[in-house]
Amino acid sequence: MNSKITDIPGLIVFEPKVIEDSRGYFYESYNKEKMTSLGAEMEFVQDNQSKSQYGVIRGLHYQKNPFAQTKLVRVLEGKIYDVALDLRKGSPGFGKWFGIELSAENNLQLFIPKGFAHGFSVLSEKAVVLYKCDVLYNQASEAGIKCTDKSLNIDWRIKAGSEIISAKDLNQPDFENADYNFIFKD
């Protein structure tokens, strides 16, 4: 398994080694020992899966401490633009976002540690997204940032007028007014 460290501390892109033959393919999508050795500390306890159509933008979501979640995101079908926004006060990446195209074809996975807001847009006709979490969902700690916040200037790569965003996500606060409690630990 190969990994690429991003410009934002803690975010890691994993690229599994895919073995293909006439029957199809095989790859190891998760190996705790290998991923830990590459800097991804986690003990996953919950898997989440979503199916969405083209134009859907989900996010930017997170859970506040003490229920903050580490996530490992991958796409089972289709293609998305996956975004992680650093909310860790004191981080060199604070307030910056990282985006990457994840697809069933490229098999890339994004490791997102605690302290980030997460969202994605669907670039294909439909997409099935799977993400592992290291902390169980806790509704009381759920929070978010408006994905259309102009100060973030995120290009979700969706044709204008084709965006599909839930009322809940559209009513999230802007980054400047968001409630989060993350501190960067080097």
Percent of the chain past pLDDT 70, that is, above it, reads 100
pLDDT, position 120: 98
The string of pLDDT tens digits covering residues 112-134 is 999 999 999 999 999 999 999 99
Distance of CA 141 to the CA centre of its chain: 18
Q: Where are the domains of the chain?
A: 44-183
Distance of CA 21 to the CA centre of its chain: 31
Q: What are phi and psi of 176, to 5 degrees?
A: -60, -30
Q: What are phi and psi of 162, to 5 degrees?
A: -105, 0
Residue 137 annotated among the catalytic residues of the structure: no
The string of pLDDT tens digits covering residues 53-112 is 999 999 999 999 999 999 999 999 999 999 999 999 999 999 999 999 999 999 999 999
Domain 44-183 is found in CATH 3.40.50.920: no
Q: Determine if the pTM surpasses 0.85.
A: yes
Tokens of 115: 């302290």
Residue 27 annotated among the catalytic residues of the structure: no
The answer to whether the CB of 122 falls within 8 A of the CB of 50 is no
- Active-site position among 27, 131, 137, 180: 131
pLDDT, position 165: 98
34 burial type by CB count under 10 A (0-12 exposed, 13-18 middle, 19+ buried):
middle
pLDDT, position 176: 97
- Active-site position among 27, 61, 81, 137: 61
Q: What are phi and psi of 165, to 5 degrees?
A: -130, 135
Structure letter (DSSP) for residue 79: E
pLDDT, position 186: 77
Place of tokens 């996010």: 59
The string of pLDDT tens digits covering residues 84-96 is 999 999 999 999 9
What angle is formed at CA 87 by the lines to CA 130 and CA 168, rounded to 5 degrees? 60
